[in-house]
């Protein structure tokens, strides 16, 4: 999948979520970009993430599989648009069957 494969029209709305985390930004960046760490916390409460693969460079792939307590599985896939260690990344993601979203991680020092 190319970085442009998920291009879409501008959204009619935008949701922004911010968190202050008392940790060095390199650790936060690692939690988002190392599959072994991401699988420990990714997904809604009660779900697990038994699979995670990512290649953290522009054009690199992102793929997860979340599993619900009832056994239902929810795959996601995306392709990184930008990456700048340890300040963040931009990842457009397909969430079948619902559609897509673009997530931006920005790690800034306080």
Tens digit of each residue's pLDDT (9 = 90 or more) over 51-97: 999 988 888 888 999 999 999 999 988 887 776 766 666 666 655 55
Across the chain, mean pLDDT equals 79
Q: Please report the pLDDT score of residue 66 as a whole number.
A: 94
Tokens in use for 99?
Answer: 């559609």
Q: Please report the pLDDT score of residue 4 as a whole number.
A: 47
Q: Please report the pLDDT score of residue 3 as a whole number.
A: 45
Give dist(CA 7, CA 4) in Å, integer. Answer: 5
The domain limits of the chain are 25-103
Q: Does the domain at residues 25-103 carry the CATH identifier 3.30.530.20? A: yes
Q: Please report the pLDDT score of residue 14 as a whole number.
A: 72
pLDDT tens profile 4-39: 444 555 566 677 777 888 888 888 888 888 999 999
């Amino acid at each position: 999948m190319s970085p442009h494969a998920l291009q879409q029209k501008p959204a009619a709305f935008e949701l922004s979520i911010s968190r202050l985390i008392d940790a060095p930004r390199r650790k936060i960046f690692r939690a988002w970009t190392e599959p072994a760490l991401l699988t420990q916390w990714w997904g809604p409460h009660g779900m697990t993430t038994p699979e995670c693969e990512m290649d953290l460079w522009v054009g690199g792939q992102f793929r997860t599989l979340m599993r619900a307590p009832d056994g239902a599985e929810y795959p996601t896939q995306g392709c990184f648009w930008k990456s700048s260690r340890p300040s963040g990344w931009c990842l457009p993601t397909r969430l079948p069957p619902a559609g897509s979203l673009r997530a931006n991680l920005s790690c800034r020092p306080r």
